[in-house]
Structure 1
Amino acid sequence: MDTALLLLLENPLIKRRLAKKRRFWTHNINRSRERFGEFFHLYKSLQEDSERFYRYFRMKESTFSYILEKVEWRIKKQNSNFRKAISPIEKLALTSRFLATGLSYRALADSFRMGFSTVASIVKDVCTAIWEELQPIHLGIPSEQDLLEISRHFYKKWNFPNCFGCIDGKHIRIRCPSNTGTSYYNYKQYFSIVLQAVADANCRFIFIDTGAFGKQSDGGIFRESALYQHLVTGKLNIPADRNLPNSDTKLPYVLLGDEAYPLLNHLLKPYPRKNLDAQKTIFNYRLSRARRVVECAFGILAAKWRILTKAIETSPENAEKIVNCICVLHNIIIDKEGIALIEEPKESTDSKKNRKNNSSTEQARDIRNCYMQYFNNEGAVPFQYNVL
């Protein structure tokens, strides 16, 4: 090393400044991370108990290893001259714990013996890596054959033919963003972004749209989404119209939505609740019974990933990354571990959704009427009359 530089470094004033600066590079508590950090004293023990591993990470060890294998190269960093880099497996463990519990960055920083900003950076990087690496595999755009398979499951499980998905929106609570006015303030009187999703018959997501303002209605969000554009322009790989089972009536494949959505050729919604006759009541019941799979999907999502039960304390942009990651994890776990049998949930009683600007075409109304006639004739099932 140059003599002049050595003399400079030996200067007491320079040495004090360097020492003061480096003192905050790693906090004294965090220096013992590999000895006392939660990951190091708990992970190996969890591996020895599959039930506790699942309860801690909300997934099996095989699923955890699969995700790690896919994203490891994206989140791995090289050791520096000053400190050892945090391993990918510890980063994934921390992020999984954050999503599973909703603990604050500060609480996780204390538990894992890391800095606050380090935890925030890890969560953002891992969520982004999971989305970009695994979304094409587990939440990619379905092919025509995929939609046909989904429709077969809907008919088998929920007695609704020619259905390739059910759509609904879920408000994701967030911390009040600065300088946004009431854009994120929803009718439930808290700040949120909206996750709009389409679920298949097994509560698996096939389309998602995340990040809309909380004040927007489901119908308004839908009309601004890529899904709507694909529906009206025919770019969605929807199969050709097909005869309903045991019938000569040929009808299009459809999504199922609630009253907040527009009635379209490929999207059915219930008849208005006023002046319902017996046939329309039965149609509404059959549609509602099938459509609840998306409500089940949201319920499973929130029960497993407890971050969704409280306000996400990040910017709306980072909250969107977190929600996208959770939706991919939801599909990965179903693909790898399956899903328990779905109990039929109670009928939704939410009547406050904005239902404006949902005018329909005559052709769309004719399609709904044909489905109504089918459910009251060839497609009738004995239990449907209990609703009357």
Structure 2
Amino acid sequence: MNAMLICDSNMIIRAVDSRYPGASHDSFVWNVSNARQYFLQEYENGDRSSRLLGDSGYGIEPFMLTPYRDPQYASQQYKFNNAHSSARNIIERTIGVLKSRFRCLQRTLHYQPKKVVKIVNVCCALHNICRQYNVEWNENANLTTSENFHEDTFMLQTSNMQNEGRRIRDEIANSL
């Protein structure tokens, strides 16, 4: 299973999509997700301030910022990548806490795909409830992440969206 999660800075899971098998590429899951459709619609309706941070497995868009590939040391792009990585750390921690709380997510779930989707969705909902009510989790647990860093992305977005995403990323990098 390849689950896509979106979280906020408080480790609240805002979106989850676990409908696709593990061989599905991150960019494919993103491109067919309701979350992307939502952000695309918001962008087309004039929202120019919402941003998601994705790893290199995603394509760049105005609302999905990805790191630069191979930036020169100490350049603005290098600084951007460091800030980007630092900010993206929250999803890594969220996934780690989720898997620590619900250990069934650390291994293959041997159920029908529809049932696996329900299990993942319920675990995410329960995680959010735990966050809301400050239910503790075992910090010493063996944390793992589901992040897979892919160098290649599927280019399903239009070049205009990619160019706008690059422009926004460059603008942020140049302000650092």
Q: TM-score, normalised by structure 1?
A: 0.39
Counterparts of 1:348-363 in structure 2, within 5 Å, are 351-352=149-150, 354-357=152-155, 360=159, 361-363=162-164
- How far is the alpha carbon of 1:357 from its aligned partner? 1.8
Structure 1 unmatched ranges of 5 or more? 1-192, 242-251, 376-388
In structure 1, give the amino acid aligned to 2:170.
N
Number of matched pairs: 167
Following TM superposition, by how much is the alpha carbon of 1:356 offset from its aligned partner in structure 2, in angstroms? Answer: 3.2
Instruction: Classify 1:237/1:206 alpha carbon distance in 2 versus 1 (closer, same or farther; 3 Å).
Output: farther
Tell me the residue number matched to 1:296.
Answer: 93
Determine which of 228, 232, 235 is the counterpart of 2:40.
232
Q: Which amino acid aligns with 1:224?
A: V
For 1:369, the equivalent position in structure 2 comes to 170
Aligned to 2:107: 310
- What do the CA deviations read for 1:172-208 (whole angstroms, capped 9, x no partner)? xxxxxxxxxxxxxxxxxxxxx2211101001110111
C-alpha distance in structure 2 between counterparts of 1:237 and 1:208, whole Å:
23
Q: Specify the SS of the correspondent of 2:39.
A: helix
What secondary structure sits across from 1:264 in the alignment? coil
CA-CA distance at 1:267 after TM superposition? 1.2
1:323 to 120, 127, 133: 120
Q: State the partner residue of 1:198.
A: 6
Deviation at 1:279, TM superposition (A): 1.3
> How far apart are residue 265 of structure 1 and its match?
0.9
Say which SS state the counterpart of residue 15 (structure 2) adopts.
strand
Higher normalized contact order (CA 8 Å, seq sep 6+, divided by chain length): 2
Identity within the alignment, %: 25
* The one of 57, 60, 64 aligned to 1:267: 64
C-alpha distance in structure 2 between counterparts of 1:365 and 1:197, whole Å? 23
Corresponding residue of 2:31: 223
Q: CA RMSD in A?
A: 2.9
- Call closer, same or farther: CA 1:313–1:327 in 2, change over 3 Å: same
Q: Larger Rg: 1 or 2?
A: 1
Three-state SS of the structure 1 residue aligned to 2:16 is strand
Structure with greater proportional helix content: 1
Structure 2: how far apart are the matches of 1:207 and 1:263?
19
CA deviation profile, 1:73-104 (whole Å, cap 9, x unmatched): xxxxxxxxxxxxxxxxxxxxxxxxxxxxxxxx
Q: Note the C-alpha offset of 1:274.
A: 5.2
**Paired residue for 1:283?**
80
Distance 2:6 2:37 in 1: 15
Distance of 1:354 and 1:212 partners within structure 2: 19
